[in-house]
Amino acid sequence: MRTLVQRVSQASVSVDGAQIGKCDAGLLILVCAMAGDTPEQTAKMASKISKLRIFKDDAGRMNRSLVDIGGAALVVSQFTLAADTRSGNRPGFSTAARPEEGRALYEKFAADLADLGVPVETGEFGADMAVNLTNDGPVTIWLDDAK
């Protein structure tokens, strides 16, 4: 499973001009299920992200987690995180999970994160989405679960 985690002061996602998900202070999490990923990996990734100490403490150091600050998450599927650009100029996406598997793992990841006490809103799997965010910091972290 691959994720791109962005600390945000706000984020939203829209489909066909209608907002379908949002969060205030917290994380925008772009998620890509990779071929061979398992439900156990979604739970592990959700736990890792919920505990990442990337929010400022009273001294201004990154010492607090999403759970510590009572923050929310906007979880958006993004299969293009599987892009393979090693050959030519057109990315290949063959390492991404097949759509039906990807949807199930994406939905399970969002549910796993919610089960950890994080308020979660989501995008729409497979839709053409417009994502709006204010990156706080900026803080952007790539997490790739090695199988």
The residues annotated with a catalytic role in the active site are 78-80
Using pLDDT thresholds of 50, 70 and 90, give the confidence band for residue 146.
low
Q: How far apart are CA 131 and CA 112, in angstroms?
A: 22
Architecture of domain 2-133 in this structure: 3-Layer(bba) Sandwich (3.50)
Q: pLDDT at position 133, please?
A: 98
Using pLDDT thresholds of 50, 70 and 90, give the confidence band for residue 145.
confident
What tokens were used for 28?
Answer: 């925008």
Average pLDDT, the chain: 96
Answer for the pair 3, 41: CB distance below 8 angstroms, yes or no: no
Q: pLDDT at position 135, please?
A: 97
| Total-model pTM | 0.95
Cis peptide upstream of residue 138 (ω within 30 degrees of 0): yes
Instruction: Give the long-range contacts of residues 84-89, CB within 8 A, separation 24 or more.
Output: none
Q: Where are the domains of the chain?
A: 2-133
Q: What is the largest CA-CA distance in the chain?
A: 48
Handedness of CA 60, 63, 68, 74 (dihedral sign): positive
User: Tens digits of per-residue pLDDT, 45-104?
Assistant: 999 999 999 999 999 999 999 999 999 999 999 999 999 999 999 999 999 999 999 999
